[in-house]
Amino acid sequence: MPRSKPQKSSGPKKKPTSKSGGTPLGNAGEHHQKAGGKHPALTTNQGVPISDNQNSLRASERGPTLLEDFVLREKIMHFDHERIPERIVHARGTGVHGRFTLKKSLGRYTTAKLFTEVDVETPVFARISTVAGGAGSVDTPRDVRGFAVKFYTGEGNYDLVGNNVPVFFIQDAIKFPDLVHALKMEPDRAFPQAASAHDTFWDFISHTPEAMHMVMWQMSDRTIPRSLRMIEGFGVHSFRLINQSGKSTFVKFHWRPVLGLQSTVWDEAVKIAGADQDFHRRDMFEAILRGDFPAWDLAVQLFTEEEAEGFPFDHLDPTKIVPEEMVPLKVIGRMVLDRWPDNFFAETEQVAFCPANIVPGIDFSNDPLLQGRLFSYLDTQLSRLGGPNFHQIPINAPRAGVANNQRDGHMQMGVPTGRVAYEPQSLEPDKPRETDAGFRSCAQPTEDGSKGRIRAESFADHYSQARQFYRSQSPVEQAHMASALIFELSKVQTAHVREAMVAHVRNIDQDLAKRVAKGLSIDPLPTAPKPAVPVQDLPKSPATTLIPRMKETLEGRAVGILVAEGSDEGTVDSIRTAAEDAGAAVTVVAPTIGKLKTAGRKTLNADAQLAGSPSVFYDAVAVVLSESGGTMLAGEAAAKAFVADAFSHLKAIAADGGAQALLDAAGVMPDAGVVAASDTKAFIKAAKTRQWAREPEVRSKT
- What distance in Å separates the CA atoms of residue 254 and residue 236, rounded to the nearest whole number? 8
Question: Least Å distance between CB 82 and ligand HDD?
Answer: 19
CB atoms within 10 A of CB 87: 19
Could you say which of 16, 87, 470, 517 contacts ligand HDD (CB under 6 A)?
Answer: 87
Question: Least Å distance between CB 171 and ligand HDD?
Answer: 10
Contact 294, 255 (CB under 8 A): no
Instruction: Locate all alpha helices (DSSP H) within 235-301, ordered by sequence.
Output: 266-275, 279-290
- What distance in Å separates the CA atoms of residue 545 and residue 324, rounded to the nearest whole number? 12
In this structure, the dihedral spanned by the alpha carbons of residues 47, 53, 56 and 59, taken in order and rounded to 10 degrees, is -80
Looking at the Cβ atoms of 22 and 372, the one nearer to ligand HDD is: 372
Give which of 276, 263, 245, 314 is closest to 455, Cα–Cα.
Answer: 314
Could you say which of 1, 148, 588, 632 contacts ligand HDD (CB under 6 A)?
Answer: 148
Which range, of 196-204, 345-353, 568-576, 658-666, touches ligand HDD by CB under 6 A? 345-353
Q: Quote the DSSP letter at residue 689.
A: S
Q: How many residues bind ligand HDD (CB under 6 A)?
A: 26
Looking at the Cβ atoms of 168 and 279, the one nearer to ligand HDD is: 168
Which range, of 88-96, 501-509, 527-535, 583-591, touches ligand HDD by CB under 6 A? 88-96
The residue of the chain with the least Cβ separation from ligand HDD equals 146
- What distance in Å separates the CA atoms of residue 83 and residue 93, rounded to the nearest whole number? 15
Could you say which of 71, 89, 228, 625 contacts ligand HDD (CB under 6 A)?
Answer: 89
Could you say which of 4, 20, 24, 90 contacts ligand HDD (CB under 6 A)?
Answer: 90
Contact 616, 641 (CB under 8 A): no
Q: 3-class SS at 682?
A: helix
Which range, of 369-377, 532-540, 545-553, 560-568, touches ligand HDD by CB under 6 A? 369-377
Looking at the Cβ atoms of 136 and 414, the one nearer to ligand HDD is: 136
Question: Least Å distance between CB 460 and ligand HDD?
Answer: 20
Which range, of 12-20, 372-380, 458-466, 660-668, touches ligand HDD by CB under 6 A? 372-380
Question: Least Å distance between CB 347 and ligand HDD?
Answer: 11
Looking at the Cβ atoms of 151 and 176, the one nearer to ligand HDD is: 176
Looking at the Cβ atoms of 380 and 444, the one nearer to ligand HDD is: 380
Query: Taking CB under 6 A as the rule, which mask of x and - marks residues 197-216 in contact with ligand HDD?
Result: --------------------
Question: Least Å distance between CB 126 and ligand HDD?
Answer: 9
Burial of residue 692 (CB within 10 Å: 0-12, 13-18, 19+) is middle
- What distance in Å separates the CA atoms of residue 659 and residue 622, rounded to the nearest whole number? 9
Question: Least Å distance between CB 363 and ligand HDD?
Answer: 17
Could you say which of 129, 262, 541, 545 contacts ligand HDD (CB under 6 A)?
Answer: 129
Q: Which helix (H) or strand (E) holds 561?
A: strand 558-562
- What distance in Å separates the CA atoms of residue 380 and residue 397, rounded to the nearest whole number? 17
Looking at the Cβ atoms of 265 and 351, the one nearer to ligand HDD is: 351
- Side chain identity at residue 72, one-letter code: L
Contact 691, 682 (CB under 8 A): no
Cis peptide before 614 (omega within 30 of 0): no
Question: Least Å distance between CB 415 and ligand HDD?
Answer: 28
Question: What DSSP string runs through 356-391?
Answer: T---TTEEE---HHHHHHHHHHHHHHHHHHSSTTGG
- HSE-CB at 72 with a 13 A cutoff on CA atoms is 10
Question: Least Å distance between CB 92 and ligand HDD?
Answer: 10
Looking at the Cβ atoms of 370 and 625, the one nearer to ligand HDD is: 370
Site for ligand HDD in 435-494 (CB under 6 A): none
Catalytic machinery residues: 90, 163
Query: Taking CB under 6 A as the rule, which mask of x and - marks residues 347-366 in contact with ligand HDD?
Result: ----xxx-------------
Looking at the Cβ atoms of 102 and 149, the one nearer to ligand HDD is: 149
Spell out where 498-651 has E strands: 558-562, 585-590, 594-597, 603-606, 608-609, 620-623
Query: Taking CB under 6 A as the rule, which mask of x and - marks residues 225-264 in contact with ligand HDD?
Result: -----------x----------------------------
Looking at the Cβ atoms of 157 and 163, the one nearer to ligand HDD is: 163
Which range, of 5-13, 54-62, 76-84, 346-354, touches ligand HDD by CB under 6 A? 346-354
CB atoms within 10 A of CB 198: 21
Please state whether 667 falls in left (phi above 0), alpha (psi between -120 and 50) or beta: left
- What distance in Å separates the CA atoms of residue 604 and residue 575, rounded to the nearest whole number? 14
Beta bridge pairs of residue 94: 128
Could you say which of 372, 570, 612, 657 contacts ligand HDD (CB under 6 A)?
Answer: 372
Give which of 367, 107, 124, 368 is closest to 241, Cα–Cα.
Answer: 107
Give which of 215, 160, 209 is closest to 183, Cα–Cα.
Answer: 215
Query: Taking CB under 6 A as the rule, which mask of x and - marks residues 309-338 in contact with ligand HDD?
Result: ---------x--------------------
373 counts as binding ligand HDD under rule CB under 6 A: yes
Contact 489, 500 (CB under 8 A): no
Contact 556, 229 (CB under 8 A): yes
- Side chain identity at residue 145, one-letter code: R
Contact 336, 98 (CB under 8 A): yes
- What distance in Å separates the CA atoms of residue 310 and residue 185, rounded to the nearest whole number? 42
- Side chain identity at residue 161, one-letter code: V
Question: Least Å distance between CB 168 and ligand HDD?
Answer: 4
Question: Least Å distance between CB 332 and ligand HDD?
Answer: 20
Backbone torsions φ then ψ of 529, nearest 5 degrees: -65, 150
Could you say which of 146, 526, 591, 658 contacts ligand HDD (CB under 6 A)?
Answer: 146
Query: Taking CB under 6 A as the rule, which mask of x and - marks residues 155-194 in contact with ligand HDD?
Result: ------xxx----x----x--x------------------
Question: Least Å distance between CB 232 and ligand HDD?
Answer: 13
Site for ligand HDD in 99-128 (CB under 6 A): 127
Q: Provide the binding-site residues for ligand HDD, judged by CB under 6 A.
A: 87-90, 93, 127, 129, 146, 148, 161-163, 168, 173, 176, 236, 318, 351-353, 369, 372-373, 376-377, 380
